[in-house]
């Protein structure tokens, strides 16, 4: 499946004394611009999250996307919104 990223929020916090709150805020503001409007190939939502997290090097907090359909017989585009909670995953 193909996914078009319409909005994304990353968790750019680090436990590093050299990484300031200013660095975090600037990165959280700048990083989404590199991903919004891009299309990703993935098997499902979980695979999409994994693909983007691996590519960016950051965890995703929120992700909005559209499923890109290639066949005129496919269902119409739908908007999806996903909040990622890493605290409940094993």
Domain region containing 41:
2-88
C-alpha distances (whole Å) from 88 to each of 14, 44, 63, 69, 75 are: 20, 19, 17, 31, 32
3-state secondary structure of 76: coil
Biggest CA–CA distance in the chain, Å, is 54
For the whole model, what pTM was predicted?
0.74
Higher pLDDT, 32 or 82: 32
Please tell me the total count of domains within the chain: 1
User: Using one digit for the tens of pLDDT, what is the confidence trace for 30-70?
Assistant: 999 999 999 999 999 999 999 999 999 999 999 999 998 76
3-state secondary structure of 28: helix
Contacting residues for 49 by C-beta, under 8 A, at least 6 apart: 60, 63, 82, 84
**Rounded mean pLDDT, 63-84:** 70
* pLDDT at 76 > cutoff 80: no
Give the Cα-Cα-Cα angle 63, 55, 15 (nearest 5 degrees).
80
């Amino acid at each position: 499946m193909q996914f078009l990223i319409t909005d994304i929020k990353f968790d750019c916090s680090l436990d590093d004394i050299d990484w300031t709150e200013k660095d975090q805020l600037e990165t959280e503001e700048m990083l989404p611009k590199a991903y919004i409007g891009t299309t990703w190939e993935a098997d499902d939502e979980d695979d999409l999250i994994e693909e983007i997290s691996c590519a960016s090097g950051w965890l995703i907090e929120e992700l909005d996307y559209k499923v890109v359909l290639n066949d005129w017989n496919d269902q119409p585009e739908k908007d999806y919104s996903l909040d990622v909670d890493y605290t409940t995953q094993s």
